Structure 1
Amino acid sequence: MITREITYFDNAGPQNTDDTIRLAVKRAKELGIKYIVVASVSGETGVKTARAFKGTGAKVVVVGHHVGFSKPGARELEERHIKELQELGAVIIEQTHALSGVERSISRRLGGASRVEAIAEALRTVVSVGTKVAVECSIMAADGGQVPVDGMTEIIAMGGTWPGVDTACVILPAHANNFFDLHVLEIVCMPRNKAKPAH
């Protein structure tokens, strides 16, 4: 039997970012985890994470929106953050989102929801939006070859209700084509009230 502490934030949102990163660093040190995956749209949260893990020996993988997420050809990661991430030795991934991708295009055009989008919605509803994001980013990091997928190496992945992060999970990652081999092993922190904050 294992006893672990879970932190529940009163509300979802970016006000939890610094605490989420701090708790992720703490749990990574406790478990000896050396791979950290974090969602970051502009790159600001990625920079905060890379700074926090500097000197720990952990590899930080920053997962941004795919190019064209907001409008065709648009990249949302900001150059100033990209530069600092590179200086801090973080890896940046921008690729098709694992839990939407082409299926989102089909549902937007033809209506209805795909099975993949149903998985994403279940994660949002049952656990938290940040858990859905953390799971998705861990798949993207695995498919990008940036985290081991050996069935043994655990990672910490962070996501949020946008912007920032409010959820951190210990995950056994898997590729998209082996999704059901992925396991959320622990919740480090998450919001208790999952309603998306107004911003």
Structure 2
Amino acid sequence: MIKRDIVYFEKPGGQNTDDTIRLAVERAKELGIKYVVVASVSGETGVKAAKAFAGTGVKVIVVGHHVGFSGPGERDLEDRYLSELREMGITVVEMSHALSGVERSISRRLGGASRVETIAEALRTLISVGTKVCVEISLMAADGGYVPVDEETEIIALGGNWPGVDTACVIKPAHSNSFFDLQVREFICLPRDKSRK
């Protein structure tokens, strides 16, 4: 039997970012985690996480929206944060979202929801928006080759109801084409109220 604490925030949102990052650092030290993936739209949360994990030996991977998410050719990561992340040697991932991608284009054009979008919505609604994000960015980091997918590797993923993060999970990562091999092994923190902003 393993006993671990889970922190429940009263409400979702960015006001939980600093606590989420602090709790993730503590759990990474406790478990000897070597990889952390963190969702960051503007890059601000990525910079905060990178600074918090500095000197711990943990590799931080920041996952942003894919270019074009907000409009054709538009990058949501702000230049000032992107520059700071690059100066710190942080890996930044901007690629199609694992739980939408091309399927979102089809559902927007033809209506209905795809099976992949249904998985995303189930995670968002039943557990938390941040849990869906944690699963998605773990897949994306694995697909990009930024985290190993061997039997021994566990990572920590941070996501949320942006801006900021409010959910942290310990995850056994997998590639998108092996989605059902991914395991959410532990929750470190998440909002108790599942309402979306």
- On whether the aligned pair clears a TM of 0.5, the verdict is yes
What's the TM-score bracket when you normalise by the shorter of the two chains?
Answer: over 0.9
Percent identity, aligned pairs only, is: 74
Alpha-carbon distance in structure 2 between the residues aligned to 1:34 and 1:174? 16
Shift of 1:152: 1.8
- 5+ unaligned residues in a row in structure 2: which ranges? none
- 1:193 match: secondary structure: coil
Displaced runs of 4 or more, over 6 A = none
CA deviations on 1:170-198 (whole Å, 9 max, x unpaired) are 0000000000000000000000011123x
Q: Match of 1:154? A: 154
TM-score by length of 1: 0.98
Q: Say whether 1:88 aligns with 2:93.
A: no
Q: Match of 1:123? A: 123
Q: Match of 2:8? A: 8
TM-score by length of 2: 0.99
Q: Say whether 1:191 aligns with 2:191.
A: yes
Q: Match of 1:174? A: 174
- 5+ unaligned residues in a row in structure 1: which ranges? none
Alpha-carbon distance in structure 2 between the residues aligned to 1:169 and 1:30? 14
Q: Say whether 1:112 aligns with 2:123.
A: no
Q: Say whether 1:26 aligns with 2:8.
A: no
**Structure-to-structure mapping, 1:64-79, within 5 angstroms:** 64-79=64-79
Alpha-carbon distance in structure 2 between the residues aligned to 1:113 and 1:39? 24
Alpha-carbon distance in structure 2 between the residues aligned to 1:11 and 1:89? 33
Aligned-residue Cα RMSD (Å) equals: 0.6
Q: Match of 1:142? A: 142
Alpha-carbon distance in structure 2 between the residues aligned to 1:168 and 1:98? 18
* 1:39 and 1:137 in contact (8 A); partners too: yes
* 1:54 and 1:88 in contact (8 A); partners too: no
Alpha-carbon distance in structure 2 between the residues aligned to 1:9 and 1:87? 33
Alpha-carbon distance in structure 1 between the residues aligned to 2:44 and 2:6? 25
Shift of 1:151: 2.2
How many matched pairs? 197
Q: Please tell me the residue identity of whatever aligns with 2:35.
A: Y
